[in-house]
Amino acid sequence: MAEAEKIIEIEVLRYRPEQDAAPVAQRYRVPFTDDMSVLQGLQYIKDHIDGTLSFRWSCRMAICGSCGMMIDGKPRLSCKTFLREFHPAGLRVEALAHFPIERDLVAGVDDFIVKLESIKPYLIPKESRSLEQGEYLQTPHELEQYEQFSSCINCMLCYAACPQYGLDSKFTGPGVLALLHRYNVDSRDGGREQRMQLVNAEEGVWSCTAVGYCSEVCPKAVDPANAVNLNKVNSAKDYFLRFVRPRKP
Amino acid sequence: MSARRPYMRPMRGWWRRDPFFVRYMIREATALIVAAYALVLLAGVLCLAQGEAAWNGWLTQLRSPVSIVLHVLMLAVMIYHTYSWFEIMPKTMPALFVGGKRVTATTITMSGLAAAVAAAAALLALAWMLRP
Amino acid sequence: MKRSNAPVFWGLFGAGGMLSALLGPMLVFITGIAVPLGLVLPRDFMSYPRMLAFAQHWAGKSFVFAVIALFIWHAAHRIFHSLHDVGIRTGAVAKLIFYGAALLVTLLTLRALLVIGF
């Protein structure tokens, strides 16, 4: 016996710069099954109802970080969110908050990319090392110091969650600062001093007011709030001890 | 010629859009009561410096029903400040390990709250021992 | 990027926040509820001779100063940042008003405690 077809209403905030002065809501009625994600719902709309709908996606399995958007007002990955959660009331979908809308559900992420590049997101060796010395050895405990922060998939949900970033986009932001911390606490890295200048700035950790919503929404449990706020202690230590610590020549 | 015209959505009323943000604003608002109580104590120390008559005036004000009610409200807000303070405290700490295992945020919060209860008890006990 | 001076104010905010988290509730209870009502502690617990002696002792002076000063610096920092959160522009003038007020309270407390003597 065939299951009665279930329909859910998806309200999408549309924006086509060539024809819309401002974003406008459009409703679609989408047939769905319990195993369908919001992303699949959007794909259904694009394939069968309205081919003009624009949205980003790639892996469909919560690892590429492309499909972040606001689903009923919360920053979520559309591939990891299921339509059944919103039945029968329906759901509202809009582009990731705190970023400019380029088109429909596509947010302009240029600022995030610039910031990502600014923190030297790569291992800066403590001292030069030859091939003959072999690979770096790292204990499980040393790995544990940074592994959590290395799980970031650059999905920017934390930026959509962070009101301080929304109020002032000069703030470096949770995800980028978590990545900065990932490198600082990696035993192979010696670039902490170089990254401190960014940490110590107003745009660094000092724009954060410990709202903590970034860590709530992170799909990979990176806990950026922790990375940012513990670096307030590091920054304060750097501020007060700079007069007593001898400067490197 | 680019057809891009990025649209920025306004931040007005952002904290009313989610219960998480409302709770954050309430946490921040507890500072108003911390300030209020500090000002009550400031008034007291200023009166103390002015002499017995001024001090007794301050004590009389504290005995008024309005003052009692306000202090009960301040007490409630102070308690929420204590709770919310230790709730966020784990975020400021690096990873702690005890016996090879990671200390959870909940453990840190509970320890903080336990310390707060102990401190309150110690203060009351000290006052009790110093009673006339 | 310019180094921020935030650590100074954040440090005071943190110290005040911790002190008020640990002692705030009981202090409010003792000074504002218990003693005025004669509950648990007698009404003359805060009589003039007793409080004068307390404030004249170095330990009592330090305690009163620490509580008032740290509470007000904690509050000034948090309220200042909350203004920014609700959309009020927080420039140099706002900083001066809030931290200036905290400084004023600190200095008034210090002066009163010195007038009270030893």
How far is the CA of B75 from the CAs of B29, B68, C27, C28, C78, in angstroms?
14, 10, 9, 6, 19
pTM of this structure? 0.94
C-alpha dihedral (B112, B114, B118, B121), degrees to nearest 10? 120
ipTM of the modeled complex: 0.95
Domain that holds residue C16: 6-116
DSSP chain C: -PBPSHHHHHHHHHHHHHHHHHHHHHHHHIIIIIHHHTSSS-GGGG-HHHHHHHHHSHHHHHHHHHHHHHHHHHHHHHHHHHHHHTT----HHHHHHHHHHHHHHHHHHHHHHHHH--
* Residue A235 and residue A173 in one domain: yes
Inter-chain contact C1–A203, Cβ cutoff 8 Å? yes
Inter-chain contact B91–A100, Cβ cutoff 8 Å? no
How far is the CA of C39 from the CAs of A94, B127, C31, C33, C72, in angstroms?
57, 12, 11, 8, 28
Domain that holds residue A182: 110-241
Q: Any CB–CB contact under 8 A between B62 and chain C?
A: yes
Q: Which residue among A107, A139, A155 closes a domain? A: A107
Q: Which residue among A64, A89, A107 closes a domain? A: A107
* Residue A33 and residue A136 in one domain: no
B6 falls within a domain: no
Q: How do strand A101-103 and strand A106-107 relate by DSSP bridges? A: antiparallel
Considering only CB atoms, which chain C residues are within 8 Å of A236? 7, 10-11
If you ran DSSP here, which 8-state letter would residue B97 be given? E
Q: Any CB–CB contact under 8 A between A210 and chain B?
A: yes
Domain that holds residue B69: 16-92+104-129
Considering only CB atoms, which chain A residues are within 8 Å of C89? none
A1 falls within a domain: no
* CATH number (domain holding residue A57): 3.10.20.30
* Residue A231 and residue A219 in one domain: yes
- Give B 18-57 residues with CB within 8 A of chain A: 18, 20-21, 24, 28
Residue B37: both structure tokens together: 């109580």
Number of domains in chain A: 2
B5 falls within a domain: no
* Residue A189 and residue A101 in one domain: no
Let me know: does A239 contact A201? Beta carbons within 8 Å.
no
How far is the CA of A212 from the CAs of A195, A228, B96, in angstroms?
23, 10, 19
B57 falls within a domain: yes
Considering only CB atoms, which chain B residues are within 8 Å of C105? 38-39, 42
Overall residue count recorded for chain A in this entry: 249
Tens of pLDDT along chain A (249 residues) come to: 456 689 999 999 999 999 999 999 999 999 999 999 999 999 999 999 999 999 999 999 999 999 999 999 999 999 999 999 999 999 999 999 999 999 999 999 999 999 999 999 999 999 888 999 999 999 999 999 999 999 999 999 999 999 999 999 999 999 999 999 999 999 999 999 999 999 999 999 999 999 999 999 999 999 999 999 999 999 999 999 988 876 554
Nearest CA distance, C1 vs chain A (angstrom): 6
C1 falls within a domain: no
Alpha helix (H) ranges present in chain A? Answer: 38-44, 110-118, 140-146, 157-161, 163-167, 174-184, 192-200, 213-217, 224-241
**Nearest Cβ partner of C24 from B48, B81, B131?**
B81
> What burial class does residue B103 get, using C-beta atoms within 10 Å of its C-beta: 0-12 exposed, 13-18 middle, 19+ buried?
middle
Inter-chain contact B124–C40, Cβ cutoff 8 Å? yes
Let me know: does C26 contact B93? Beta carbons within 8 Å.
no
* CATH number (domain holding residue B25): 1.20.1300.10
Give the tens place of pLDDT for each residue, C17-75. Answer: 999 999 999 999 999 999 999 999 999 999 999 999 999 999 999 999 999 999 999 99
Contacts of B among chains (3+ CB pairs under 8 A): A, C
C23 falls within a domain: yes
Number of domains in chain B: 1
